[in-house]
Amino acid sequence: MTPHTVTTLRLEPHPDRVEVILSRPGRCNSLDLTCLAELTMVLEESTSILPLILRGDGPGFSIGGDIREMAEFTADSAEAWSRLGQLAVAALEHWPGVTVAHLTGFALGAGLELALGCDVVVGPASVRVGLPGLVLGMMPGFGSLDRIRQRLGADRCRRLFLNGDILDGRQAIEWGLMDRLVQDTDEVVRLAINLGEFGPSAVQAIRSLRLSQRGASDDLALLFAAPFASGECQRRLRQLLS
């Protein structure tokens, strides 16, 4: 599907779907600069119109940003990370077929932000989702607050972010953060194939109802980078690692 070698994810084409698997299991599928760049490249270079399933390798979807890498960020690298994340989400939103995020274990911070770029978000009751980054001095860097506000409404969006609430699968369904509970991978595959019956024009029409913007925002990237310019984020991240 792409001639380039990727090291942080796996691309598995099937006759009826495409699976993109975040594959950094030793780092809880955390999203570093390389992973975000490779994900964007793979999605943008694909010519497939099949349904896409985005999932994690191992027991969890993604714990979010790579804390060890981010603890050494400068303001410039923090800005670049935010922009890459927004581009990866936008690439999901431009995939011509329907996209399904299969959450397992945990989908936190940037991991949850990435999943919200998909049309449908599913997972088991045991999954844990949330945005715990505020305690580390970070705001969501991929533009998810708009997406979450559209799904949850302003009050619940504010609570999820400011309180750092971590929801299980049933709570996420009740709040509107996830779309469906699933038991296993086979159920997700059947769902994606069934949704794949929708044509590209129908997929775009559905997306237009939920998306207020596409692509990257320099303003958001600069806002995300600001606490790194002061050194506050790095200090808190290093404390977490110590």
Give the per-residue pLDDT at 211: 67
The answer to whether 55 and 21 have CB atoms below 8 angstroms apart is: yes
pLDDT at 217 over 70: no
Identify the H or E element spanning 168.
strand 166-168
Which class does domain 9-241 fall in?
alpha beta
Residue 54 in contact with residue 92, Cβ under 8 Å?
yes
**Confidence (pLDDT) at 218:** 64
Instruction: For the chain, report the end-to-end CA distance as a whole number of angstroms.
Output: 41
Angle between helices 33-45 and 75-93 (to 10 degrees): 30
pLDDT at 21: 98
Dihedral of alpha carbons 151, 155, 160, 166, sign: negative
Sequence-distant (6+) residues with CB within 8 A of 191 are 100, 120, 122, 180, 182
> Is the per-residue pLDDT at 2 higher than 60?
no
Contact 95, 196 (CB under 8 A): no
What would the pLDDT profile of 160-177 be if each residue is shown by its tens digit? 888 888 999 999 999 999
207: its two tokens: 């997306």
CB 99 within 8 A of CB 120: yes
* Cβ neighbours around 219 below 10 Å, total: 8
Residue with the bigger pLDDT between 1 and 159: it is 159
Average pLDDT over residues 197-216: 67
List the chain domain ranges. Answer: 9-241
